[in-house]
Amino acid sequence: QVQLVESGGGLVQTGGSLRLSCAASGRTFSTRTMAWFRQPPGKEREFVGARSWSGTSPYYADSVKGRFDISRDNAKNTLYLQMNRLKPEDTAVYYCAARRPSGGAAYLTSTYDYWGQGTQVTVSS
């Protein structure tokens, strides 16, 4: 079992920045893939980006590429999402997700085994 807790959401103006954190506990290990998804108001959950605990480089959705950055701190079992140059369309509940080692596509929600409770990000225009 793995537990995920997101934090760092809040209200920010267009063009501003926020850093989200995802603290993992339980049966964690360094090779597991972690990801960020988001769900805008009235819309379906969508992929933001993913990164393994070790090895591979981050993988991002085109909508956030160049603005968002995923980093990790293995010693703290924590994944971060640095969000820069935020836009109103970035407003959403942001979720952290984790999965066991897999060769499947990292952007598919169905491939993830564990989810956090979500944290709200609101970008004012």
More confident residue, 26 or 121: 121
Mean pLDDT of 17-42: 89
The pLDDT, as a whole number, for residue 18 is 98
**pLDDT recorded at residue 104:** 83
C-alpha span between 85 and 115 (Å, rounded): 26
Judged against a pLDDT cut of 70, whether residue 31 lies above it is answered with no
Higher pLDDT, residue 12 or 27: 12
What percent of the chain is predicted at pLDDT more than 90?
74
pLDDT score for 56: 72
pLDDT, tens digit, 9 for 90 and up, residues 67-90: 999 999 988 999 999 999 999 999
**Do 93 and 119 form a contact (C-beta atoms < 8 A)?**
yes
3-state secondary structure the chain: CEEEEEECCEEEECCCCEEEEEEEEECCCCCCEEEEEEECCCCCCEEEEEEECCCCCCEECCCCCCCEEEEEEHHHCEEEEEECCCCHHHCEEEEEEEECCCCCCCCCHHHCCEECCCEEEEEEC
Q: How confident is the model at residue 32 (pLDDT cuts 50, 70, 90)?
A: confident
**55: pLDDT confidence band, cut at 50, 70 and 90?**
low
| β-bridge partners, 69 | 82
